[in-house]
């Protein structure tokens, strides 16, 4: 994906049609193809004080997670979780922070988790997910409050489909941050399904105070 001054509208149209262009067993959401071979290049590394650290990159790349021994590895990723970093020009428009956690199984990218832009992106993310998976199997409305005391309507939603399990929290700890969690049917075999959010039951009304006779 290349950024342009008006990238958001073309990007959304591309995302809504993405599932039609993916190969059998593959699924494309938000510009990320799941179920396909993981072919992202590793981010550049350098040694600082005997420690291996990742350097900045102008292209989408991945970072290994874990110990120094794991970071120094050069073998292809076969079965592991990785951090996928996107430069601003290539990050999905709804993403916050420019990074995602990818789950690689048997050399294929089978899961992805990333933060969204919270309230500002919740309608756009929901539209894309509905276009690809239909109505969610669970939907729980909730209220989010900004640091200035403003209240916003938000929600948690899940989808459980033969091809994937999806969790979308439109707002998490802050109103400008949400969460998308997508795992394919293959990933389902090695990790539990996301917990379904449930509406919070209203508190019972307080009993009226008794007055003296």
Maximum average pLDDT range among 6-20, 39-53, 138-152: 39-53
CB neighbourhood size of 120 (10 A)? 14
**Interval 138-177: pLDDT, tens:** 999 988 777 777 888 999 999 999 999 999 999 998 899 9
Instruction: Measure the CA–CA gap between 43 and 99, rounded to whole angstroms.
Output: 13
Report the 10 Å Cβ neighbour count for 188. 17
Closest to 79 in 3D by CA, of 97, 100, 102, 99: 102
Record the pTM.
Answer: 0.76
- Is 147 inside any structural domain? yes
Q: What is the CA radius of gyration of the chain?
A: 20
Q: Please compute the mean of the pLDDT values over residues 51-74 and round it to a whole number.
A: 95
CA nearest to 59, candidates 35, 82, 91, 31: 91
User: Is 198 among the domain residues?
Assistant: no
Number of folded domains that form the chain: 1
- Has residue 204 been placed in a domain? no
Residue 196 lies inside a defined structural domain of this protein:
no
Answer whether residue 200 is part of any domain: no
CA distances for 152 relative to 26, 61, 145, angstroms: 35, 35, 6
Q: pLDDT tens-digit profile of 67-93?
A: 999 999 999 999 999 999 999 889 988
77 belongs to a structural domain: yes
213 in a domain, yes or no? no
Mean pLDDT of the chain: 82
**φ/ψ (deg, to 5) at 125:** -65, -45
Averaged pLDDT for residues 3-25? 39
Tens of pLDDT along 167-209? 999 999 889 999 999 999 999 888 654 444 444 444 444 444 4
CA atoms of 44 and 25, how far apart (whole Å): 31
Question: Which tokens is 102 given?
Answer: 């990818």
Q: Which residues constitute the domain of residue 93? A: 8-188
**202 in any annotated domain:** no
110 φ, ψ (degrees, to nearest 5): -115, -5
CA distances from 73 to 42, 52, 69 (A): 11, 10, 7
Distance between CA atoms of 106 and 33, rounded to whole angstroms? 15
Could you give the CA distance from residue 47 to residue 120 in angstroms, rounded to a whole number? 39
């Amino acid at each position: 994906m290349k950024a342009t001054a008006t990238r958001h509208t073309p990007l959304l149209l591309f995302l809504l049609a993405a599932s039609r262009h993916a190969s059998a067993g593959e699924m494309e959401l938000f510009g990320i193809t799941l179920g396909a071979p993981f072919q992202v290049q590793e981010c550049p590394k350098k040694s600082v004080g005997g420690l291996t650290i990742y350097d900045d990159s102008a292209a989408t790349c991945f970072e290994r997670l874990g110990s120094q021994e794991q970071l120094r590895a050069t073998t292809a990723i076969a079965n592991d979780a990785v951090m996928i970093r996107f430069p601003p020009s290539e990050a999905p428009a709804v993403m916050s922070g420019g990074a995602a956690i990818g789950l690689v199984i048997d050399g294929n990218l089978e899961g992805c988790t990333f933060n969204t832009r919270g309230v500002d992106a919740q309608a756009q993310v929901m539209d894309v997910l509905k276009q690809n998976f239909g109505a969610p199997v669970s939907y729980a409305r909730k209220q989010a409050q900004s640091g200035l005391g403003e209240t916003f309507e938000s929600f948690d939603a899940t989808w459980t489909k033969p091809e994937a399990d999806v969790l979308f929290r439109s707002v998490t700890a802050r109103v400008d941050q949400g969460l998308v969690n997508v795992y394919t049917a293959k990933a389902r075999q090695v990790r539990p399904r996301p917990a379904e959010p449930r509406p919070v039951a209203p508190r019972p009304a307080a009993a009226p105070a008794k007055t003296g006779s």
